[in-house]
Amino acid sequence: MMQESHCLRYGAQNIHYEIVRRPRKTLEIAVEPDASVTVAAPLETPLEAIEARLRKRAAWVMRQQRYFSQFLPRTPERQYLAGETHLYLGRQYRLKVIPHTHNRVKLIRGFIVVQTPRPYSPETTRELVEAWYRDRAHLKFPERLEHCLARFPAPQAFRPQGLIVRQTQQRWGSMSPAGHLLLNRRLVQASVDAIDYVITHELCHVAEPHHGPAFYELLDKIMPDWERRKQRLERAMA
């Protein structure tokens, strides 16, 4: 994978963007939640062709940057100390760390309770909590996928070839050209209606790979309130 940094002048504005070159057939422009711009491009695509596509989409890019900028600066990184709050399925839970002979994480009323032989090690607490989130994501995401598929008139036509759960820095989800659905592990911290928005959005890409009018027409039909869900997701997870 090759990565390059560039800047495009559009009117009075500069659009700074990263090109990530991969063995792929299509070119895709994405505005990430931190308002950065990434262009995924085939390995041999000339810079002139990339700039032409980005210039054509520049107005949309800047609208997306303005949208995400309203949620910045984002919440500082968690320190994994007792008393700190953490999200799970859209609800805030306080972290409680208890000395114990075995490692274990469980949800008790309003607390994420971490039992560990190393209660004074934030790094150990972080590892345990992250592993717990990962386990919960592997349980919850398949459930929500089935729920979201039921929204479609022909669910099996939109069923992905596989579901991958991975911690990513930027996107909440993606649908590969081969039909594999990738969901960000962090999404398990969001509310169920926000999770359903991300999954439904990506399922629509099975029929419409690009964010053109046909894609949004399909998304509007399947999930008419998707914009409210998207905004709730970005506000809660900022």
- Our count of domains for the chain comes to 3
Within-domain flag for 103: yes
Q: Please indicate, yes or no, whether residues 173 and 228 belong to a single structural domain of this protein.
A: yes
Q: Is the pLDDT of residue 72 over 70?
A: no
Q: Please indicate, yes or no, whether residues 193 and 228 belong to a single structural domain of this protein.
A: yes
How many angstroms separate the CA atoms of 131 and 2, rounded?
A: 31
Within-domain flag for 75: no
Q: Please indicate, yes or no, whether residues 115 and 152 belong to a single structural domain of this protein.
A: no
Give the CATH number for residue 167: 3.30.2010.10
Q: Please indicate, yes or no, whether residues 39 and 111 belong to a single structural domain of this protein.
A: no
Q: Is the pLDDT of residue 64 over 80?
A: yes
Q: Please indicate, yes or no, whether residues 99 and 150 belong to a single structural domain of this protein.
A: no
At 139-162, the pLDDT tens digits run 999 999 999 999 999 999 999 999
Q: Where in the sequence is the domain holding 162, given as residue range(s)?
A: 141-236
Q: Please indicate, yes or no, whether residues 223 and 197 belong to a single structural domain of this protein.
A: yes
Q: Please indicate, yes or no, whether residues 174 and 221 belong to a single structural domain of this protein.
A: yes
Within-domain flag for 220: yes
> Which sign does the torsion angle of CA 64, 69, 71, 73 carry?
positive
pLDDT of residue 1: 62
Q: Please indicate, yes or no, whether residues 166 and 221 belong to a single structural domain of this protein.
A: yes
Within-domain flag for 49: yes
Three-state SS across 71-104?
CCCCCCCCCCCCCCEEEECCEEEEEEEEECCCCE
How many angstroms separate the CA atoms of 207 and 71, rounded?
A: 30
Within-domain flag for 136: no
Q: Please indicate, yes or no, whether residues 151 and 227 belong to a single structural domain of this protein.
A: yes
How close are the terminal C-alpha atoms of the chain, in Å? 29
Of 110, 131, 152, which marks where a domain is finished? 131
Within-domain flag for 212: yes
Within-domain flag for 74: no
Strand partners, 4: 19
What is the pTM (predicted TM-score) of this model? 0.73
Q: Please indicate, yes or no, whether residues 110 and 145 belong to a single structural domain of this protein.
A: no
In terms of Cα–Cα distance, which of 95, 72, 199, 88 is closest to 133? 88
Within-domain flag for 107: yes
Q: Is the pLDDT of residue 34 over 80?
A: no
Residue owning tokens 């940057």: 65
pLDDT of residue 168: 81
At 176-226, the pLDDT tens digits run 988 999 999 999 999 999 999 999 999 999 999 988 899 999 999 999 999
pLDDT of residue 22: 86
Q: Please indicate, yes or no, whether residues 147 and 126 belong to a single structural domain of this protein.
A: no
Q: Which range among 32-46, 113-127, 208-222 shows the weakest confidence by mean pLDDT?
A: 32-46
Of 34, 69, 104, which marks where a domain is finished? 69
Q: Is the pLDDT of residue 73 over 60?
A: no
How many angstroms separate the CA atoms of 33 and 191, rounded?
A: 17
Of 69, 96, 118, which marks where a domain is finished? 69
Q: Please indicate, yes or no, whether residues 97 and 184 belong to a single structural domain of this protein.
A: no
